[in-house]
Structure 1
Amino acid sequence: MASPESDAHARKGARYWVALAVTGVIGGILSGAFGVGGGILMVPLLIGLTGMDQKRAAATSLVAIIPTAIAGSATYFANGEVDLLVALLVAIGGVAGSYLGAKLLRRIPVVWLRWLFIALLIGIAIRLFLIAPERGAEVQVDWLIGLALVASGLFMGVASGLFGIGGGVILVPLLITGFGAGDLVAKGTSLLVMVPTATMGTITNARGRMVDVRAGVVVGLAATLASFIGVALAFLVPPEVSGILFAILLIISAVQLTIRAVRLQLK
């Protein structure tokens, strides 16, 4: 006997699967080019093109991020643009922070925190507009910088859990503006950090029966293939332009969070 999920898939036409693939291509290029998960565009595209609700779209996007981040970080690593120690330290804080953020979401009012976070994104975007990242620069890690990287991962994880925004949007500009990393190293390291965090999030979503595995595989396959195009673009674009483009991405993220915050306050 066919399962309800397989029956639902059978009723979906070719347009649905094409929409998933298109979403994956756009998200994959964004992921490879900027070192982010791509959810900033994949989630609204899945909602608009396939009719998924917010939670299922976010869960599907997270499934797709896993192979995309693996492929993207491997490509950056092959070109010497991943800092393994930095990734490890940030991931330690990020895993703990994502758990803490999910817990805090249920217990504290986040209205004023959301507006402070929006202001922080805009501030970082302005800095990226004014100061171009230095390509090839590396993070010099000592014990103090190491603690700061763990703290940055903790902040990234908490912010992701509280506000539903991808960690890469936070981590890449933090590594560039706060730790002096080159833009390519920041992007490659960010993608590597996403592998364990996206995996943990997907496991949690699977337990809550929020994951449409077949849709996630289609989006993920398209995103993975497209991520190689994104990485190639990242290496071709000058660091000055890269900083400006990432600043625009931060502004888009801030606008999305602002719209969400206004809607929540109007309820």
Structure 2
Amino acid sequence: MTEPVSARESWWILAIVGVIGGVLSGAFGVGGGILIVPLLVTLAGMDQRRASATSLAAIVPTAIVGSITYLAAGRIDYVAAILLAVGGVAGSWAGTRLLKKLPLGWLRWLFIGFVLLIAVRMLILLPPRAEGSLDYSVWAGVGLVFLGLLIGFASGLFGIGGGVIAVPALMTIFGMGDLTAKGTSLLMLIPTSITGTVQNVRGRLVDLRAGLIVGVAATAASFAGVWLAFLMSPAVSSYLFAALLVVAAVQLALKALRDRRKA
């Protein structure tokens, strides 16, 4: 069952978490969950499982507004988004089922490892800003569905939107420009995060009150993030986001070690 909201989880703390996540969502083409989850753990005092479920719920409105903004700028590949979403929905269902069963200790350290892996990848691969388009074929379609499956699984398990996987993959493997990759990523996150949230509600894992507050704040802040995305080069964007991920991973690791000592 969903745990009662603690005194630490006041609306203004949740709103701050949402604002940070919303700016990141628009700026980096991600759902924001990869940093919302650590913030919910460290600032709002949630455990890893409930933070992941709450983050995924908050991503829904953020992804909707962010994708609309990229749509207005003509930076979305609809065919790619649909193919990604086909795999994403199935992967999200599987990820949320594992979220309910995995021990909290395993879940916490898996998330920390995942965050560090993404940070290293962003530092190693710095594709140039390009306006290339995807060349469609049967294999490209299969590849997009498979990529969506991986994204959806990570989304359901860790409470992230999956953009940290989708954006670099669309750029380096499928040849998309960075802005189109970010817009396409946000659009596919909508059905993926909705599917995962429905599963978490059924499993009584999600804090809907907290998710609503974080989601509304993130939605309002996402416009500023999209504006920043058009100002940053891919290199600056990658270095900045990698630094934020490392900080988040270190904070989670320190909290995990402190909790272990207390236990």
**TM-score w.r.t. structure 2 length?**
0.80
CA distance in 2, matches of 1:54, 1:133: 35
Specify every segment of 5 or more residues in structure 2 that has no aligned partner in the other structure, as ranges: none
Partner of 2:137: 142
Distance 1:150 1:260 in 2: 36
**Residue 26 (structure 2) aligns with:** 32
User: Relative to structure 1, is the Cα distance of residues 257 and 22 closer, same or farther in structure 2, using a 3 angstrom cutoff?
Assistant: closer
1:56 positional shift: 2.1
1:188 is aligned to 183
Q: How many residues align?
A: 254
Is 2:92–2:195's contact at 8 Å kept on the other side of the alignment? Answer: no
* Matching residue of 2:166: 171
> In the alignment, does 2:78 pair up with 1:84?
yes
- Is 1:125 the counterpart of 2:122 in the alignment? yes
Larger radius of gyration: 1
For 1:162 and 1:174, the matched residues in 2 are separated by 20
Residues 123 and 61 of structure 1, relative CA distance in 2, 3 Å threshold: closer
| Cα distance, 1:192–1:206 mapped onto 2, change above 3 Å | same
1:229 aligns with 2:220: no
Q: Percent identity?
A: 56
- Greater helix proportion: 1
Q: CA RMSD in A?
A: 3.6
Cα distance change of structure 1 residues 12 and 116 upon mapping to structure 2, 3 Å threshold: closer
Letter of the 2:12 counterpart: V
1:51-90 equivalences in 2 (<5 Å): 51-90=45-84
| CA shift for structure 1 position 53 | 2.2
**Contact 1:24 1:42 (C-alpha < 8 Å) held by counterparts:** yes
Q: Is residue 76–residue 188 contact of structure 1 (8 Å, CA) maintained in 2?
A: yes
Quote the offset at 1:257 in angstroms: 9.2
Rounded to whole Å, the distance in 2 between the matches of 1:261 and 1:92 is 35
Whole-angstrom CA distance in 2 between matches of 1:73 and 1:29: 13
Q: Residues of 2 paired with 1:127 and 1:205: CA distance? A: 35
Most deviating of 159-168 and 90-99? 159-168
Amino acid in the other structure paired with 2:179: L
Instruction: Pick from 177, 180, 199 the counterpart of residue 204 of structure 1.
Output: 199
Letter in 2 for 1:78: A
C-alpha distance after superposition, 1:40-97 (max 9, x if no partner): 2212212222222222222221121111000000000110111110000111111122
Look up the equivalent residue of 1:224 and give its one-letter code: T
Q: Return the alpha-carbon distance in structure 2 between the equivalents of residues 144 and 254 of structure 1.
A: 35
Name the CA distance, whole Å, in 1 between partners of 2:249 and 2:41.
19
How far did 1:32 drift? 0.7
One-letter amino acid of the structure 2 residue matched with residue 223 of structure 1: A
- TM-score normalised to structure 1 length: 0.79
**Structure 2 letter corresponding to 1:222:** A
Deviation at 1:198, TM superposition (A): 0.8
Match of 1:153 among 148, 152, 159: 148
**Structure 1 residue 50 corresponds to structure 2 residue 44:** yes
Q: Deviations over 1:161-192 (max 9, x none)?
A: 55665411111111111111111111111111
Amino acid at match of 1:144: W
Moved more, 96-105 or 205-214: 96-105
Of 241-250 and 139-148, the range deviating more from structure 2? 241-250
Aligned in 2, Cα 1:35/1:100: closer, same or farther, shift over 3 Å?
Answer: same
Question: 2:245 and 2:43 mapped to 1: Cα distance?
Answer: 23
CA shift at 1:213, angstroms?
Answer: 2.2
Q: Is there any run of 5+ residues in structure 1 with no aligned partner, and where?
A: none
